[in-house]
Structure 1
C-alpha cells in the first residue's frame, strides 16, 4: 500500500459513513489498477482521524493523487494546450515534452494544481465497469460493461461528494492580490485561471469587461440625470448612444475572450466527446457511436415531455407573473390616489412602497421558478450535459426576462408614463441589487461561519490560509464547506443588469452608475466566496462564456427595438409628424430595421478572433497537415519497400 506521504493529495472522495467494506475495497482497487487492466492508475489513501469527535467523523474520506508521469500522460490524453518554445500554444504530447517552454527537468511544476486536479477528475469520471453486474454489497446498484463507476456511485447515493483540495499558500497569494486590498487595477485573471481554471477566469474577465464598458454610459448618464431631471422626454440622444453601445461592446468582448482563450490554450482545443449525464436513465442498449452498452431513451418521448408538460408549465408561470404584475399596478394606483388626496412627506414615501414590494416578489418568484425549472429539465431526461444546460438556461431566461421587464414594457408602451417608468426602474434596480448582495455575500458567509464555528474554535483557525492546518483537519474543514454550483446565477444576474441598462437607461440614466457600483462590490464578494466560503471547484477548460454570449446578443437585439420605439414616442420626434401617426410608425420601423441590419453588418465585419491570433492558428493547422502528410508518405514508402523486398 502506498504511503500517504508518497504523493501530493489533490482530490478528496467521500463515501457515506456506512458504505459496505466490499464496495470500498473494490473501488480503491479499481482506482489503483493499471490503465491496461481498466483502472485509473491513481494513488489513493484513506484519510486519518481528526482531532475532534472521532467517533462522529465519517471515516470514508479518501485522498487521491497521481505520479508525475501519470499526470503528464493524462494531459496528453486530454489534449491540454501549453506554450511551446516558439511562443505558440500547442497540444501537449509526452514525446516532445522538452520542447514546451516551462517543461524543465522531470517536468515537476509544469502542470498547475488545477490542471492536475482536472486530469484526476477526468480519469475518475471515465473509470468504467468491466464485467461487474453490480457494485459489491449493493445488488440494486446495477452495472454493465462501459458504465461510469463514479456516476453510478453518485446516482445511488453511495458517494457523497468529490472535490479538489485547496493549496493554502497559493490561495493566500491569490487572495491578497485579488480581494484583500482595494485597488484601481485589473483583476489577476492569469492567477485566477491558474488556480480555478478557465471557466471561472472568463466569468471574472467578463464581469470586469462589462464594468469598464459601463463607464462611458455612467459618465454621460450623471450630467444627463442632474440637468434633465424633470424633462423625461429628452432621451433621444441617450437612446441612440445606447443602440451603438450595446452592439459594439458585445462584439469587442468576443475578441477579448478569444485573446484570453488563446493565451490560456483553450481556443483551439478540440471538444471532448460528451458522455451521458449521471442522472440520465433509460433502457439498456448499445450506443451506435461508441459501441458500448448504455441507457437509451427515445427522443420522441423526451419531446413529448418538453412540449406537453414543460412548455405549458412555463406558459402558466408567465401568466402568474402577469397576474402579479397587474396586482402591482393596482397597488401603484391606490398609492397614487392617496398621495393626490393629501400630498405629504409620508404619502410621498408611500409611492415607492408598491415598487419595493413588487421587486421583492419578483426575486422570490425567480427563486421558486428556478427550482421548478431544474426539476422539469431533470425530468425531461436529457442525455448530454450541454443539452441539459441549454434547456435549463432557456427556461430560466424566458421567465426571468418576462418577470423582471414585463412591467417596464407595459409602463413604457401601454401607459406611456415616463415618470412612472423612471421610478419603477430605479426601485426595481436598487431593490434587486440590495437583495442580491445580501443573498450572495452576507448570507453564505454567515451560514458557513455558523456551520464551522465549532471546528474553527477547536483548531483555533478562522480561515484556511491564516496558518498551517494538519492535513486531516484541512480536508474535513473543506468537506463541510458549501459546494460551488457554478457561474449560472452569476451570469444570470449580469444578464438582467445588462437588460436594465440597454433597454431603459435612456429614461433613467443613473442605471449604468448603479450597475457599475454593483459590479465593483460583486467582484470582491464573488472573489471572497470563491476563496473563503466555497469548496474549490474543478477546473473548467472553457473557450468562451458559452450560451450566455447568445443570451446577451439576443438582449441587444431587443434593446435596438425598444430604444427605437422609445425614440419614436418622444415629443421631439412626434413633432415632425403632426398629422400622420402612421407615417411616424413606418419611419420608426424602417429606422429600427436599418439599425438591426447595421448591427448584423458590424457583427460580420468585426472578426471574432483578432488577426494575429488567426495567423497563429492557421500556422498550427498548416504544420499539423504537413506532419500528417509526412506520416502518410513515410507509411507508403515503408509499405512499398517491404513488398519490394518480399
Structure 2
C-alpha cells in the first residue's frame, strides 16, 4: 500500500498535454478496488464450491434415506451382470458360487489403453487445432472489422461458431464413447456408468475449458477471456435448452402429423373401396364362371366356362379351340330359327345357378350394383390413440447423462473463470431457474417415461465435481497472479517471489477447503441414529433367530420319535434364518412407524 501511495503522489503532480493539472487518484483507487474485489471473489468462489458440494452430500443422503435407497449400493460381486455383458466362458461367482459369464480383466485394459485413450487424445488434439483456427479467424475479424460500427458484430461470430462446434462435437464424441464403452464390456451397470462418465468428462473438460485456459495463461488477455467466457456460457445455455425442448417437441409433432395423415388416408372413401374390392376377390367361391361375348355383326356369341364343365355339356359341345367355328355356326342357326331369347334365358339362368346363395349383408357387400360403404368421420377430430401409443413415438430417455453434464460444465464455468466475468454466476442462476421447467417439460412431453433405478448418490459425478473444485482453487489463484495485483502491490518483487506468493495463497485456500470438508459431516446426525437403530434391530433379530434355531435343534435331538415333524420344523427354521441373514438391514417405513416400540412383535416384522 505504501508503494501505491507513492505512485499516486507522483502522478498527482503530472499535467496533461495542455498544461492543466490532472489528478490520477480516482483511476488508481478504482484499480485498487477492482484488484481487492477480484481476490475476494476468487476466495469466495473456492469456499462456496466446497460448501455447495458438502451441502449436496448431506441432501442426497437425506433423500436416499427417505426413498429407501440409502443401503442400495453393494459390492460388484453381489450385483448381477448386465444383460449386455458378453462373457467368453462361465465361472463361479467368488461370493455366491453361482455360475456367471466371465470376461478376463486384462482384455478391459487392452481395449482401454490400446483403443480408448488414443482415440480420446486424437479427438482432443483435433478440437485444440480447431480452437486455434477459430482464434486466428477472430484476430483477423478484429483487425478488419473491429473499428467499424456496423460490422463490429462480425468479431463475435467466430466464438459463436466455436460454441456451436463444441455442441456438435459433443454429440459425435458421445456416440464414440458409448461404442468404446460397449467394446470394453463391463460387467455391472455401475462400472459401465462410471467409465462412461470418465470418458465424457475428460473430453468435455478439454473442449469446454481449453480455449479459456489458452486465453488466460498463454495470451494473458483478461478482456478477451471475459468476452469468450460470456459468449461460450450464454450460447451453450441457449443451445442446450433449445435442443432439449424445442427440437424433440417439433419432431414429436411431425411424427404425430405423419401418423394422423396415414390413418386418415387409410380410412378415406377410395381406400375403403379398394379394400372392399380386395376382400371381395379373396372371398369369391371356388366355382368360377367366365362369360365371353363375341360381337360379330348382328350375332353375339356367349362362351361359359366353369371349373366343372360337365353341367354345360347338355347344351354346348366343348372340344378343342378349333371347334369355335362350329359353335358359331350353331348359334347362327338358332338365331335364324328365332331362338335367341331361349339362348339368352338359358345363359342367364345357368349363371345364376352357378353363383352361390348368400345372405343379404354379403350380397350388399359383394354386389357391384350397390354403393360401397363410405367413411363417415365421428364427432371427434380424428381417430383416438391411447397414451401408450402416443408415448411410443417419443424419444427414449436412456440416462440422465446429459442433464448431469450440463450442470457439470456450468459449474466449471462459474468456478474456474467467474472472477474474470462475475456475471457468469448470475447467468447460471437464471439458467437453473429455467432449467427446472425445461427438464420438467422434457420428461413430461418430449421423451418416453424413464425407468427408475435405485441408487444411493450421483456416483462418479460427485467425484468429478470434487476434482473440479480442487482444480478451481489452483486456477483462481493463478488468475490472481495474472491480474497484476501482486506486481502493483510489490513492484520490485521478482518473478519467483510472485510465484511464491500465489502458491502460499493457494495453500491457504486449500487448507480452508479441507477444513470445511472435515468440519461438515457428509451424513446428517439423525440419519446416523436411524441407521444405527436399524443395525441394532437386525442384530437383535439375528440373535433371537439363532437362539430359536439352537433350541429347535436341541429339542429335535432329544425327541427322535417325531422325525417327520421335527425335520420339517428344522427345515423351516433353517430357511427362516437364511432369509433373515440375506435380507437388507430394515425397512425405513417400519422403523419410523415403530421407532418407539421395542417389543418382540416389532422385531419380528424385520
1:236/1:567 contact within 8 Å kept: yes
Post-superposition Cα deviations, 1:278-306, rounded to whole Å, max 9, x if no partner, equal: 22223232233344444322211221111
After superposition, residues 321-360 of structure 1 pair within 5 angstroms as 321-339=127-145, 343-360=147-164
Post-superposition Cα deviations, 1:442-492, rounded to whole Å, max 9, x if no partner, equal: 0000001111225568999xxxxxx9x999733322222221122100000
Q: Structure 2 CA distance, aligned partners of 1:591 and 1:538? A: 47
- Alpha-carbon distance, 1:511 to partner: 0.7
2:91/2:99 contact within 8 Å kept: yes
2:108/2:184 contact within 8 Å kept: yes
- Residue in 1 aligned with 2:579? none
After superposition, residues 570-589 of structure 1 pair within 5 angstroms as 570-578=483-491, 579-589=493-503
Does 1:277 find its partner at 2:82? yes
Q: Structure 2 CA distance, aligned partners of 1:337 and 1:471? A: 62
| Structure 2 residue corresponding to 1:250, chosen from 16, 28, 53 | 53
Post-superposition Cα deviations, 1:302-344, rounded to whole Å, max 9, x if no partner, equal: 211110111111111111111111112211211222245xx12
Q: Let me know the Cα RMSD of the aligned residues.
A: 2.6
| 1:259 to 1:457, Cα distance in 2 relative to 1, 3 A | farther
Does 1:504 find its partner at 2:417? yes
1:243/1:559 contact within 8 Å kept: yes
- Alpha-carbon distance, 1:638 to partner: 2.6
- Residue in 2 aligned with 1:411? 215
Q: Structure 2 CA distance, aligned partners of 1:279 and 1:628? A: 38
Q: Structure 1 CA distance, aligned partners of 2:516 and 2:217? A: 29
Give SS of 1:235's match.
helix
2:35/2:485 contact within 8 Å kept: no
- Residue in 2 aligned with 1:287? 92
- Residue in 2 aligned with 1:616? 530
Q: Structure 2 CA distance, aligned partners of 1:638 and 1:282? A: 45
- Residue in 1 aligned with 2:270? none
Q: Which moved more, 1:264-273 or 1:626-635?
A: 264-273
1:284/1:293 contact within 8 Å kept: no
Q: Structure 1 CA distance, aligned partners of 2:36 and 2:247? A: 41
Post-superposition Cα deviations, 1:493-545, rounded to whole Å, max 9, x if no partner, equal: 00000000011111111111111222222111211121122221122222221
| 1:593 to 1:233, Cα distance in 2 relative to 1, 3 A | closer
| 1:555 to 1:276, Cα distance in 2 relative to 1, 3 A | same
| Structure 2 residue corresponding to 1:567, chosen from 480, 494, 500 | 480
Q: Which moved more, 1:441-450 or 1:531-540?
A: 531-540
Give the paired residue count. Answer: 410
Give SS of 2:101's match.
strand
After superposition, residues 493-642 of structure 1 pair within 5 angstroms as 493-578=406-491, 579-642=493-556
| 1:293 to 1:269, Cα distance in 2 relative to 1, 3 A | closer
Q: Which moved more, 1:528-537 or 1:413-422?
A: 528-537
Q: Structure 2 CA distance, aligned partners of 1:292 and 1:471? A: 50
1:254/1:609 contact within 8 Å kept: yes
After superposition, residues 164-313 of structure 1 pair within 5 angstroms as 235-269=38-72, 271=74, 273-289=78-94, 290-313=96-119
- Alpha-carbon distance, 1:565 to partner: 1.0
Q: Structure 1 CA distance, aligned partners of 2:421 and 2:36? A: 11
Q: Structure 2 CA distance, aligned partners of 1:383 and 1:473? A: 38
- Alpha-carbon distance, 1:405 to partner: 0.3
Unaligned runs of 5+ in 2: 1-29, 265-379, 561-606
Q: Structure 2 CA distance, aligned partners of 1:428 and 1:233? A: 27
- Alpha-carbon distance, 1:251 to partner: 0.3
Q: Structure 2 CA distance, aligned partners of 1:453 and 1:408? A: 44
Structure number with greater CO (CA < 8 Å, separation at least 6) is 2
| 1:511 to 1:454, Cα distance in 2 relative to 1, 3 A | same
- Residue in 2 aligned with 1:427? 231
Q: Structure 1 CA distance, aligned partners of 2:170 and 2:223? A: 26
Q: Structure 2 CA distance, aligned partners of 1:470 and 1:359? A: 44
After superposition, residues 56-71 of structure 1 pair within 5 angstroms as none
- Residue in 1 aligned with 2:180? 376
| 1:318 to 1:312, Cα distance in 2 relative to 1, 3 A | same
Does 1:482 find its partner at 2:482? no
Give SS of 1:351's match.
helix
Post-superposition Cα deviations, 1:145-168, rounded to whole Å, max 9, x if no partner, equal: xxxxxxxxxxxxxxxxxxxxxxxx
Q: Structure 1 CA distance, aligned partners of 2:512 and 2:527? A: 26
After superposition, residues 363-402 of structure 1 pair within 5 angstroms as 363-402=167-206
- Alpha-carbon distance, 1:270 to partner: 5.3
Q: Structure 2 CA distance, aligned partners of 1:622 and 1:386? A: 29
Q: Structure 2 CA distance, aligned partners of 1:548 and 1:334? A: 40
- Alpha-carbon distance, 1:429 to partner: 0.8
1:250/1:553 contact within 8 Å kept: yes
Q: Structure 2 CA distance, aligned partners of 1:611 and 1:415? A: 49
TM-score (normalised: structure 2) = 0.64
1:373/1:392 contact within 8 Å kept: yes
2:73/2:456 contact within 8 Å kept: no
Q: Structure 2 CA distance, aligned partners of 1:368 and 1:233? A: 43
2:93/2:100 contact within 8 Å kept: no
Does 1:318 find its partner at 2:124? yes
Unaligned runs of 5+ in 1: 1-226, 461-466
2:194/2:459 contact within 8 Å kept: no
Post-superposition Cα deviations, 1:152-193, rounded to whole Å, max 9, x if no partner, equal: xxxxxxxxxxxxxxxxxxxxxxxxxxxxxxxxxxxxxxxxxx
- Whichever structure has more helix as a proportion of its residues is 2
